[in-house]
Structure 1
Amino acid sequence: MQAGLAMQSIAMLGSQEQKEQWLPRMARVEALGAFALTEPEHGSDSVSLETTARRDGEEWVLDGRKKWIGNGSIADVVVVWARDTGDGQVKGFLVEPPTPGWTAEKMTGKGSLRAVWQAEITLDGVRVPEANRLPGAGSFKDTARVLAGTRNAVAWGALGHATAAYDIAITYAGERTQFGRPLASFQIVQERLVRMLAEVCSMQLYCLRLARLIEQERLTDTIAAIAKMNNTRRAREVLAEARDLLGGNGILLDFHVMRHMADIEALHTYEGTETIQTLIVGRDITGIGAFA
């Protein structure tokens, strides 16, 4: 949220003054940022967002609702995406809470990513100066450019969860004794551990390729989408194997597998669900958009 979405939005689409004002402080975590795109009725179809921005002299008036906004209740600056009532295009604005008309309520009852404070936000006539509009954000295509970069980070995050699951499972199999022998000595356990390792290695190769494409400035939406889709799907499978190998202990928080299982469910959904990633890739390889 901080570096991948909020800071990247400002770095990619902000003015020089906006970059100088926020990026150094955010890099030192002296200021917290948030990225407000998702709405109560628009998640996967975020392009249909209903939050509006109306020009009023040298200010913009924002109205609408946002949901699932990480850091939304504690951020010093929030990148808010809204549809310009004048030209119908999606634009980005830097809102600096607290400000009149802005309400952010922390969401509770989550079973995943419990350490992340996410908020439901209401904007009721929030006024933002023209100087706080991101000049490089002229349409939803610019929003999508930011999102493509963060899908790369989700692929890495999924790899981290899978690696942790494999490490926990192989350690446990070596220490746990059943029928007078360590679990690791049974053929079926070794076969499952090897399959887990094979999946982790394939995920590593995806991430390595992503990193090299980023260095070469050749990363595309399609590559980011297929990497995110593949790695979150494979991580779920590796975690399920680890939980099963640990037996009853697999559901105990002391062994951490269940925590990773809960968190991978969030990664599998945010930054575009598996269905959305599939459609992005499908459009690219067939030339036909199948989103509707």
Structure 2
Amino acid sequence: MFIFSPVKSLLSASLAAAMLFAAAHAQAQAVLRVSAIPDEAPTELQRKFKPLGEYLEKKTGMKVEFTPVTDYAASVEALINKKVDMVWFGGFTFVQANHRSKGQITPLVQRAEDEKFKSVFITTNKDINKLADLKGKTLSFGSESSTSGHLMPRSFLLGAKVDPDADLKRIAFSGAHDATVAAVAGGKVDAGALNISVWEKLVAEKKVDPAAVRVFYTTPGYFDYNWSVRSDMNADLRKKISDAFLALNINKADDKVILDLQRASKFIPTKAENYKSIEAAANNAGLLNK
């Protein structure tokens, strides 16, 4: 004879609800949310990420979603506030995120090229041939939070005894590297500073004429971009992501497509200590606590 038990029924209902919640939570966690600093046009960022996202889906078994952000600061806030799980940072934005989170951001990998990254200064003005010639002229940086489009160019200007705020007629912030090139080419400013990788890409794609817009100074190398996650990310997932990047081989056709879009020969491990010089430059320029 069946006897109805309210206690057993309640327990069964609670167990079922808990299982449904766990399943829903697991499903929610099955999406890897990725973003990147907007150092190029949004359409270009989406194009570059698509093959990489598909590759990471295969390697992690998760759905990978790319979430664009409006500016560099938004990429920092998105990772800290758990709106995304992984971000392509510049060296300075990594330092900002790590500073804001009190050391809770872990850089996973960087391109081999990011060990000695460089910035270039460009102009159409025949009278500008060295950094000192920028005195009294107008100059465009990229984003204020850009490592290669602002922080390090500013640092090298200061090293050349040129104070951008005091010695230049005007400084502007274009927001992105390709926008800086457009500002210089269009005569809106006398000169601009941007990352060497974007410059070389624009020249290779014939989107800029290097005979008309020329490089007059290339900086020494410094550590720059990386893929970062929050330090509380599941260790197994973090390893899967790192291993996926490190496994990319330029001698394999499919991998080469990904690496070429990322303008990388390969990815290598990185660590927070690599960005101490960026942190020092930001402190010296008074930019870290802005």
Shorter chain as normaliser: what TM range? under 0.3
**TM-score, length of structure 1 as denominator length:** 0.22
Structure whose CA Rg is larger: 2
**TM-score, length of structure 2 as denominator length:** 0.22
* Higher RCO, Cα 8 Å, sep 6+: 2
Identify the structure with the greater helix proportion: 1
